Structure 1
Amino acid sequence: MSDRKDVIIIGAGPVGLTLANLLGQFGVSTVVFEGRDELIDYPRAVGIDDEALRTMQTIGLVDKVLPHTVPDQKIRIVNGERKVLAEINPTTREFGWPRRNGFIQPLVDKALLEGLARYPHVEVRFGCRVEAFESASDGVTATVSTPTGEERVSGSYVVGCDGGRSLTRQHLGLAFEGETRSTRGLVIDVANDPIGTPHAVFGGDPSRGYATLSLPHGIRRWEFTLFEGESEEVAEDDEFVFSLLAPHVPDPASLDIIRRRVYAHHARVAEKFRVGRFMLAGDAAHVMPVVAGQGWNSGIRDALNLGWKLAAVVQGKAGDRLLDSYEDERREHVKAMVALSLNMANLVTDHNRLRTAVRDMAAAVVDRLPKARARLNSQGYKPMPKYDHGVVVPSKLPTWKSLPDREDAPRTVGTLFPQPTVRNADGESVLLDDATGQGWRVVVWNNNPTAFVSEIDAERLARFGGVLVHAVPATQLPWAKAAAAPGVRVVGDESGLLKSWFDERPFSAIIVRPDHVVAAECLAQELSAVLGKVFSVADATFAAQNA
């Protein structure tokens, strides 16, 4: 192995493996060190969302992941009498994939690991524990304990994806701010699902909170709240475990139990996500209660946000300060997800009968309010990424008379660009990201983008790994394809969803980052100037050097 890498990743969990796949795509030399001898073989997370599936699509592995998912998994929240308090069943495909999905994490982790075989410049080393770091002006040297002895490996940057007890975070002396809730949980996974229904149930039972979820391949999970005085040893006590399961299945003793584990509910965020040449991602940067199913997904968002930025910096396409935007963009959204997870945990695990009675009455009121019920059902309470700082260029609503005054028009900058099904230049129905490519994209509605982008800016965009996209109604696709300038991607809006999206906004040109976040929006005539501003916030040095 070369003793110098562009990036050293600590931890071969889902976040480290996703980041390694992203860096592999960009041609970045990467090594992943994992202290364990193999991947963890038990499920921890059980929910993968549409944003994470889009990331799996981005790294070319979604077809390997989907067989291990339960698409559109409905959640029913019930009280102690099994009365349904709320139903969560989002059916949107805004980002191209189902919003809620059950999944088997070890099998998805395995797909991520196997995906790295595509990249000879990326390697994963199991049984290798990083013991210490030594920083220098041009990089970091890690001291690694390996099965054959001690090694020293250098890299330009280090990303700690090494979990809640992160050695990387401890090395940096960063506080892990938040709380560990006194309430713990017992997870029981069984094969040969004795219930078989595809949905999940969250039981807000004041006598003992629980959840039960259908997972792929005939696996079912139960999670039960443990009380004070119930130690970790109860996981191995058959009598205790069977007593928990007795109200849920006809014959607990005959269940094929494959694992039992006690876990704690942590809600913590690191005080910094970046210190010099070190970054933290996933559980090393933040942990949250499992109830909302967002811990795993938040880590995948970290990887997607950080991957393209690291690649741009180590390849000399942007300066080091671009990496500051990682914390600027991710930290506030993570804090919102931690708050959501805590609120949901409190909702389900509250044992106070008065408060749960008030909760049940409030749920009955919501059920009678169509808008409130629809928002809950569609998972509208989930905070979506919205970046006000970082690699974004905020815009003002235009005041030109040819545009109606729409103060209520949705604001797009800092949010995720949608992903409808479109027709590519060959007339095939594909998801938008597959038609345009996964890097920087300048999407212009019903206009040839080369008419509005200077030759210099088009060259800058190409050097930054970007493409120009001409979006038209599908009926215009043959004409637009014939008239397309070299290098322009033409897509046909076959469903009308892309046109509807532009219809609601007073802008016709959108600049999309590799992580699918809208960096800027403008009128077609303003495109070249706004593109220059995006280059500047991505890194002023890069823009100046390549002018």
Structure 2
Amino acid sequence: MTTACDVLVVGAGPVGLTLANLLGQQGIDVLVVEREHELIDYPRAVGIDDEALRAMQTAGLVDEVLPHTIPDQKIYMVNGDRMILSEVNPTTREFGWPRRNGFVQPLVDQVLLAGLDRFPNAAVRFGAEVTDLAEDADGVVATLANGETVRALYVVAAEGGASPTRKRLGISFEGETRPTDGIVIDVANDPIGTPHAVFGGDPARSYASIALPHGIRRWEFTLFENETEADVDNDEFVFGLLAPHVPDPSKLDIIRRRVYRHHARIAGRFRHGRIFLAGDAAHVMPVVGGQGWNSGIRDAFNLGWKLAAVVKGLSTDGLLDTYETERLGHVTQMVAVSLGMAKEMTDHDPQKAAERDRIAANRTPEEREAQKRQAFKPQPQFDQGVVVHTPLPTFKTLPDRDVPRLAGSIFPQPTATDADGVEMLLDDATGQGWRILTWNNDPTAFLSDRQRAALDRLGARLVQVVPKAQLPWARKQATAGVTVIGDLGGESGLQAWFDARPVGAVIVRPDHVIAAECLAQELDDVLGKVFEAACIA
């Protein structure tokens, strides 16, 4: 028996399920196959960031995800004497959501799985293992362990770091694996009860103690080379690990315990013809940075709108090459940062730990503030791909000021109003998909009929941003097909964003990345260049 679909996703983890939801929204026929018979329920990620929550918002699932999070979760990095080395507590809402959030991954995965019930064109099959992939000129045929076949236009392998697909394709997975393992212990009825997380760089044995939603506490400990999985199954051994942290480990309600490896690896390529790697199949990183799960969601968000555009015939296949072009550089940075943090906090050399403590003690207030706001986290910034960099004029009165180039970065999401003055997050006010935002101007005044027709085919949104005070007037004057929204002002408002750079128009991709920014009069020409970069047919 042969099943047909537009996109076959291998792996029902968070990346595969997120991608399937995004494709389902776009009317793409998507099938997810998972070799296990149910969702994985063992301990994995514990942190979801603002970019990932915005992706959940785009997928229409954020309201279901939020009950399983701890917003604005603070992290203390401490040494063996519990002296605070640094504090991570970013309170920005630049993208509309808290930058750091604790969460229970299995419950969020369940939300993603249930989300597919919304789409008649999306399906999941558990107990379905892919044993072979054969590509031809028209697509890919996947053979399942039971002998069935699935024909798809494209395949996305999101089946984890041990990815059989990656190995089958002969794609390298370069990097390193730490010589020692770690143990995760999840406990119900949190015996500590504090809302924050602590990462302990104790040279005697490094650890993490993390508060999770619903009264769950997670501990992670580094194991030494002479300690094995058999030790982890021994209650006395586990109680010994926990004894420095709670009065009586024997009274803990342990939900689960599991051994894991510290990997830092990146696939040699993310695309092989019609087959793509995403999530851990494409890259793995140490858990200390809390970015493994989030990096996989970025993969799904970047690849989802591109696959939908190509399957629908809106863009040519060349658009899919930009997935690797855009994601590889950023994930390489993220792996390096996570690896550096892991080595800093899990090094058991007392001399190196003492040097780390000395450096931390001598940080300036500015350096401490940068740590606090998580400035060490690389933000996505694409120099190539679906990005057009336009020459920007400088402010002559400020010769030493660098005009920030934001094309290729993520567009902010402040609170704004719809045309009726109702306050909501920007993406809800404008709608999703391709968007053109102009400050105060009617965008149609700067667009040719040809570009308007192309925007209509894309289902793009034309957005006129005005100060809230102008809403009654602007709404009456609005051109058909133009969405008018009101800016609330303030440091985080859209007026402040436009004030900071000499442009009056911005072109935003479906994944909220700025494709280009320009003067209003340049809009038609720059839009044409964006369409060219996006291989729009």
Residue 17 of structure 1: how far off its partner (Å): 0.2
- Aligned equivalents of 2:399, 2:58: Cα separation in 1: 37
Q: Which amino acid aligns with 1:151?
A: E
Q: Indicate the percent of aligned positions where both proteins have the same amino acid.
A: 64
Determine helix, strand or coil for the equivalent of 1:3. Answer: strand
Letter in 1 for 2:9: I
Q: Does 1:433 align with 2:422?
A: no
Say if 1:64 and 1:111, in contact at 8 Å, map to a contact too.
yes
CA 1:530 to 1:488, structure 2 compared with 1: closer, same or farther past 3 Å? Answer: same
**Inter-CA distance 16–380: structure 2 relative to 1 (3 Å threshold):** same
Partner amino acid for 1:292? G
User: Is the contact between residue 50 and residue 96 of structure 1 (CA under 8 Å) also seen in structure 2?
Assistant: yes
Distance 1:141 1:326 in 2: 22
Decide whether the 8 Å contact of 1:421 with 1:495 is kept in 2: no
Gaps of 5+ in 2: none
Alignment partner, residue 238 of structure 1: 235
Q: What residue is the counterpart of 2:247 in the other structure? A: 250
Do residues 361 (structure 1) and 358 (structure 2) align?
A: yes
Residue matched to 1:340: 337
Summarize the alignment of residues 108-257 of structure 1 with structure 2, pairs less than 5 Å apart.
Answer: 108-145=108-145, 149-257=146-254
Residue 399 to residue 338, structure 1, CA distance change in 2 (3 Å): closer
Q: Residues 226-257 of structure 1, C-alpha deviation per residue, up to 9 Å, x if partnerless? A: 11111111111111111111110001000000
Which amino acid is the alignment partner of residue 449 of structure 1? P
Aligned 8 A contact 2:23 2:305 in 1 = yes
CA distance change for structure 1 residues 460 and 2 in 2, over 3 Å: closer, same or farther? farther
Read off the aligned partner of 2:323 and give its amino acid letter.
Y
Aligned runs of 1:10-159 on 2, under 5 Å?
10-145=10-145, 149-159=146-156
Q: Which residue of 2 aligns with 1:9?
A: 9
Q: Distance in 1 between matches of 2:144 and 2:474?
A: 55
Q: How does 1:374-453 map to 2 (within 5 A)?
A: 374-398=369-393, 407-453=401-447
The whole-number CA distance in structure 2 between the counterparts of 1:14 and 1:228 is: 31
Q: Distance in 2 between matches of 1:404 and 1:227?
A: 56
Which residue of 2 is the match for residue 513 of structure 1? 509
Residue pair 2:209, 2:218 contacting (<8 A) in 1 also: yes
**SS across alignment from 1:422:** strand
Contact residue 159 and residue 280 of structure 1 kept, 8 A: yes
Query: Matches of 1:202 and 1:281 in 2, distance apart?
Result: 28
Measured in 1, the distance between the counterparts of 2:289 and 2:60 equals 27
TM-score w.r.t. structure 1 length? 0.96
Tell me the distance in 2 between the aligned counterparts of 1:384 and 1:233: 41
Q: Distance in 2 between matches of 1:58 and 1:278?
A: 25
Amino acid at match of 2:80: G
Q: Does 1:469 pair with 2:438?
A: no
CA distance in 2, matches of 1:93, 1:195: 29
1:502 is matched with 498
Q: Structure 2 CA distance, aligned partners of 1:91 and 1:173?
A: 43
SS in 1 for 2:186: strand
CA distance in 1, matches of 2:422, 2:322: 37
Q: Could you give the per-residue CA deviations for residues 23-76 of structure 1, whole angstroms, max 9, x where no partner exists? A: 001110010000000001123000000000000000000000000000000000
Q: Deviations over 1:124-164 (max 9, x none)?
A: 0000001101111000011112xxx4211100000000101
Q: Which residue of 2 aligns with 1:455?
A: 449
Aligned residues: 535
SS of residue paired to 1:461:
helix
Q: Distance in 1 between matches of 2:508 and 2:285?
A: 29
Question: What per-residue deviation string (whole Å, max 9, x for no partner) do you get for residues 379-400 of structure 1?
Answer: 0110000000100001212269
Question: Partner amino acid for 1:8?
Answer: L
CA–CA distance in 2 between the matches of 1:234 and 1:395? 60
Q: Equivalents in 2 of 1:404, 1:454: separation in Å?
A: 35
Query: Structure 1 CA distance, aligned partners of 2:337 and 2:43?
Result: 22
Aligned match of 1:532: 528
Alignment of 1:224-303 (within 5 A): 224-303=221-300
TM-score (norm. length: structure 2) = 0.98
Q: 2:300 & 2:394 partners in 1: Cα distance?
A: 38
Deviations 1:249-276 (A, max 9, x none): 0010000001011101000000000011
- Rounded to whole Å, the distance in 2 between the matches of 1:519 and 1:88 is 31
Cα RMSD (Å): 1.3
Q: Is the 8 A contact 2:310 2:316 kept in 1?
A: yes
| Residues 173, 268 of structure 2: 8 Å contact kept | yes
Q: 1:183 & 1:395 partners in 2: Cα distance?
A: 49
Query: What's the secondary structure of 1:202's corresponding residue?
Result: strand
Question: Could you tell me how far 1:406 is from its partner in structure 2?
Answer: 6.9
Which letter maps to 1:11? Answer: G
Letter in 1 for 2:306: K
Partner of 1:545: none
- Mapped contact 2:432–2:510 kept (Cα < 8 A): yes
* 1:459-497 C-alpha deviation (Å, 9 max, x unpaired): 101212211110111111121111111111111111432
> Could you tell me which amino acid in structure 2 is paired with residue 421 of structure 1?
T
Structure 1 gap segments, 5+ residues each:
543-547
| Counterparts of 1:131 and 1:8, CA distance in 2 | 14
Q: What is the one-letter code of the residue matched to 1:503?
A: D
| Residues in 1 aligned to 2:50 and 2:401: alpha-carbon distance in whole angstroms | 29
